[in-house]
Amino acid sequence: MNEQDLANKVVQRLDHGLVNIKQGTLYQLQSARKVAIDGYREAPQLAFGLGWASNIAFQISHSQYFNSRNLLASGLLALSLLAVTYWQVVIQANDIADIDVSLLTGDLPINAYLDSDFEAWLKRSSQ
């Protein structure tokens, strides 16, 4: 038995009992049914696509935390972090290149990497 058959049997059983109901009670039941049906609203279906993106943009633009001052501060923070990271990478690459050039030109002995005082020698020679 599927849902439709069950629903039809329930409706038949309820309709069978309508014969013995008073007219006033029947009117009250019909008006309550009309109110219930008028108040019924189908559940909204999810829409696929980019509708969610506009909803997120709306929420962000109307949020008290995502105003222009906070967005500017966040952007400057991200930009400064990128600049510091880039600067560190360039400095490290230049230091390695300087050591390689010193090794190749003979200014730095080949055994310097084996010496435990290598870092102290580099600091003295850079001053």
- 114 falls within a domain: yes
Q: Is residue 105 part of a domain?
A: yes
Enumerate long-range contacts of 32-41, CB under 8 Å, 24 or more apart: none
**Averaged pLDDT, groups of 10, the chain, 127 residues long:** 83 77 84 83 67 74 75 91 88 77 73 68 74
79 within domain boundaries: yes
Is residue 110 assigned to a domain?
Answer: yes
Residue 78 lies in a domain: yes
Q: With respect to residue 91, please indicate whether it lies within any of the assigned structural domains.
A: yes
How many domains is the chain built from?
Answer: 1
Query: Is position 124 within any domain?
Result: yes
Query: In the chain, what are the helix, strand and coil shares in percent, each to the nearest 5?
Result: 75, 0, 25
Q: Which amino acid, one-letter code, is at 1? A: M
Torsions phi, psi for 59 (to 5 deg): -60, -40
Q: What letter would DSSP give residue 1?
A: -
What predicted TM-score, i.e. pTM, was given to this entire model?
A: 0.33
pLDDT attached to residue 45: 67
Q: 120 is in which domain, residue-wise?
A: 67-127
Distance CA 24, CA 32 (A): 12
